[in-house]
Amino acid sequence: MKGKALDDLFHDTLKDIYYAERQILKALPKMARGAQSDALREAFQKHKEQTEGHVERLQQVFELIGKAPRGKTCPAIDGIIEEGEEIMSEYKDTPALDAGLIAAAQAVEHYEIARYGALRQWAKTLGMDEAAKLLDQTLQEESQTDETLTSIAESEANNMAAEAV
């Protein structure tokens, strides 16, 4: 059995984030429907559209490395999404719902930022410049979404949740 190398790790992690993005695509419409504020609902809807582009970029990266786009079950993202569903259930119709949804969504974003950051760097190390550019584009969008969620939390959601106390 040959030793695993960085290209193997790259491919495995690519399958992981591909699975994650497809699960996120299923979760975002539910989160948008659950959001109480228009700003948060719009942020989730915008990110769903971006996520569709993330999946397309990942498919391009798979093509660049000569592999079929396939996901690999990712228990981490499944658990993060499950936590978000619990928040939607436990905090439905409460002033704290949007703050909880933002926290859940940011857990997803931070997971993605970590994955895309590693993948981008590995692509650079492996001389996959085109793949690195595609991954960097997604990384920038994930970071922007995180910033948008922080802004909504700070400008409205956290205060609404605190005022109810």
pLDDT digits (tens, 9 = 90+) for 2-11: 789 999 999 9
Is the pLDDT at 1 greater than 60? The verdict is no
Options 2.60.40.10, 1.20.1260.10, 3.90.1640.10, 1.20.1090.10; CATH for 6-163 is: 1.20.1260.10
User: What is the rounded average pLDDT of the residues 4-30?
Assistant: 96
User: What is the rounded average pLDDT of the residues 18-42?
Assistant: 96
Q: Range with the lowest mean pLDDT among 37-41, 70-74, 160-164?
A: 160-164
Tell me the residue length of the chain: 165
